[in-house]
């Protein structure tokens, strides 16, 4: 293996259908770390989700090309990995670049840019410099330029230099202004987000390094913690500016495209779901469901799947490219989920083939993964019909916008105890309101009304529907 072939550049891969860029959220490794094959090394947010990317090779992290908080195009190198770390030093143009040696007196805190690195090297802005190259020593804080220059003569192997001019005895040299501030990468990112110049700060950390507290004090802004999503830029006024990117950006683009492409129609139906609520309680008592979290959404999903079997045209898409309506013989059931990064709609593949127990597990899995922000892009593509459960927020119903490529979406509202005429008498019943939005190019008023009516009939008496429809 040649020395140069040892160092392999790992490029940002295409993490989904048609994705062109991603934002580096967090590096899970540092330069000098030994990593294994398929070990997660970086968390990246794309327009669809936040995902952890595994290492393509085992070895040692030789260089990190992109800092956290940077948006990178697909195919651009983000990290270099030394796949043969025991093969000796690697001569290259980058490794021969001049670096600054850490001060001999007093160790710099590990992790600081300008601090010590494995093998006696120094952590430079990106990556480590070589151990074998002798370079000009950076003067200690508070030490004169003349003293530092005299202590460490220039290395002839790098470039001959003229001897330093003698300092005048009557006029001692002023302390050298630091050309680089010691600070950890998260502190640098915080300062960048808040618009703080690190060179203007006096660090309170080891060897004068700038800490998070120093940055926050300078900005006069108290932040509990930086969230994983885009941090609002504070400009000192009574406004916040939040960058539109990632999941939020894609959602906005899709909603605008859908709203102005598919002619939306929304219909509403108020339903007595008392029997559904009772059926859910009976289901919870059954041994095979005791370890599964159950909610009314399970019965709504089942109602949708049975109604699609009766009205398959609802489960279709409009193809303007081929002038066709494509009717799907499978149902990838999407469930809208609100996350810290914005609205996403992951879907359960082939939901129509699942048992009631499998459907419950699938719904729980989607919600739990969505809360962590790590829903894979594959779970958010290929949906055919979606449900938006606005009832969890105490909302009666809504007029949802179609996800791109789908012809209908159902809003499921909150279930409330409501006075209702039941068997000729006014009683308190469990009532909800459904809202169905559909593409009027595919679904006319009659089809949309029948489809919504069948969902309502199932929820009014799920036991009877299961016996008569299946």
Strand partners, 61: 81
Q: Is 65 a catalytic residue?
A: no
The first and second tokens of residue 159, run together, are 């470039």
First to last CA, the chain: 64
Residue from 65, 86, 422, 440 carrying the catalytic annotation? 440
pLDDT tens, residue order, the chain (470 aa): 555 578 899 998 876 655 678 888 889 999 999 999 889 899 888 766 678 888 989 999 999 999 988 888 888 999 999 988 887 776 554 443 433 333 433 444 444 444 444 444 444 433 334 444 444 444 444 444 444 444 444 444 444 444 555 444 444 444 444 556 777 766 776 777 777 887 888 888 777 788 877 777 776 543 444 444 445 555 556 777 777 776 667 667 776 777 667 788 999 999 999 999 999 999 999 999 988 999 999 999 999 999 999 999 999 998 888 889 999 999 999 998 887 777 788 999 999 999 999 999 999 998 888 888 778 878 888 999 999 999 999 999 999 989 888 999 999 999 999 999 999 999 999 999 999 999 999 999 999 999 999 999 999 999 888 888 76
DSSP, collapsed to helix, strand or coil, labels residue 453 as helix
> Rounded distance, CA 470 to CA 465, Å?
8
- pLDDT in the model for residue 48: 61
Q: Is 64:27 a contact under the CB 8 Å cutoff? A: yes
| Secondary structure (3-state) at 469 | helix
In this structure, are residues 202 and 226 in contact, taking their beta carbons and an 8 Å threshold? no
* Gap between the Cα atoms of 414 and 412, Å rounded: 7
Rounded-to-integer distance, Cα 130 and Cα 224, Å: 38
The three-point CA angle 390-267-364 to 5° equals 30
For residue 220, what pLDDT is reported? 55
Q: What is the pLDDT of residue 101?
A: 37
Element (H, E) at 34: strand 34-35
∠ at Cα 28 (25, 30), nearest 5°?
Answer: 115
Q: In what order do the strands lie in the sheet with 50-54?
A: 50-54, 40-45, 21-27, 71-73
**Residue given tokens 């709203």 in the structure block:** 259
pLDDT at 130: 42
CB 429 within 8 A of CB 360: no
And the tokens for 22?
Answer: 């991603």
Q: Do 328 and 384 form a contact (C-beta atoms < 8 A)?
A: yes
Sign of CA dihedral 357, 362, 365, 371: negative
Residue 89 tokens, joined: 């030093």
- 3-class secondary structure, 124: coil
For the chain, domains (ranges, CATH) are 3-151 (2.40.50.100), 185-241 (no CATH), 247-469 (3.30.559.10)
The closest of 319, 355, 314 to 331, measured between CA atoms, is: 314
Dig out the tokens for 35 from the structure: 């990593």
**Nearest one of 79, 70, 78, 71 to 189, comparing CA atoms:** 70
Cβ(367)–Cβ(390) under 8 Å? no
């Amino acid at each position: 293996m040649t020395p140069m072939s040892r160092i392999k550049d790992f490029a940002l891969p295409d993490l989904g259908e048609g994705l062109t860029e991603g934002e580096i959220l967090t590096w899970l490794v540092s330069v000098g770390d030994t990593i294994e094959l398929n070990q997660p090394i970086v968390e990246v947010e794309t327009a669809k989700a936040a995902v952890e990317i595994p290492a393509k090779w085992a070895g040692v992290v030789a260089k990190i090309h992109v800092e956290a908080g940077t948006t990178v195009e697909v195919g651009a190198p983000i990290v270099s990995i030394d796949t043969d770390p025991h093969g000796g030093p690697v001569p290259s143009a980058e490794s021969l670049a001049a670096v600054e040696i850490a001060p001999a007196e007093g160790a710099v805190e590990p992790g600081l840019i300008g601090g010590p690195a494995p093998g006696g090297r120094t952590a430079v802005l990106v990556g480590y410099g070589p151990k074998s190259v002798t370079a000009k020593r950076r003067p200690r804080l508070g030490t004169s330029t003349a003293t530092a220059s005299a202590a460490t003569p220039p290395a002839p192997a790098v470039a001959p230099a003229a001897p330093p001019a003698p300092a005048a005895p009557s006029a001692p040299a002023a302390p050298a202004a630091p050309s680089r501030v010691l600070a950890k990468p998260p502190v640098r990112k915080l300062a960048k987000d808040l618009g703080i110049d690190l060179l203007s700060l006096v660090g309170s950390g080891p060897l004068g390094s700038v800490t998070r507290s120093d940055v926050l004090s300078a900005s006069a802004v108290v932040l509990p913690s930086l969230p994983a999503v885009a941090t609002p830029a504070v400009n000192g006024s009574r406004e916040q500016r939040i960058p539109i990117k990632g999941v939020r950006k894609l959602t906005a683009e899709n909603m605008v495209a859908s709203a102005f492409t598919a002619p939306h129609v929304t219909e509403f139906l108020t339903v007595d779901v008392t029997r559904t609520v009772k059926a859910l309680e009976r289901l919870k008592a059954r041994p095979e469901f005791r370890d599964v979290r159950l909610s009314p959404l399970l019965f709504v999903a089942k109602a949708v799947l049975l109604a699609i079997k009766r009205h398959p045209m609802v489960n279709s898409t409009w193809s303007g490219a081929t002038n066709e309506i494509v009717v799907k013989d499978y149902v990838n059931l999407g469930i809208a989920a609100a996350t810290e990064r914005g609205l996403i709609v992951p879907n359960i593949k082939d939901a129509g083939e699942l048992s009631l127990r499998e459907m419950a597990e699938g719904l729980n899995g989607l919600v739990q993964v969505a809360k962590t922000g790590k829903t894979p892009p594959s779970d958010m593509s290929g949906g055919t019909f979606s449900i938006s459960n606005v009832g969890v927020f105490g909302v009666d119903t809504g007029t949802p916008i179609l996800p791109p490529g789908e012809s209908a979406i159902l809003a499921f509202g909150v279930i409330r105890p409501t006075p209702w005429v039941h068997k000729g008498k006014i009683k308190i019943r469990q009532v909800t309101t459904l809202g169905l939005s559909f593409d009027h190019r595919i679904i006319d008023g009659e089809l949309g009304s029948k489809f919504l009516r069948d969902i309502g009939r199932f929820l009014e008496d799920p036991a009877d529907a299961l016996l008569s429809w299946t």
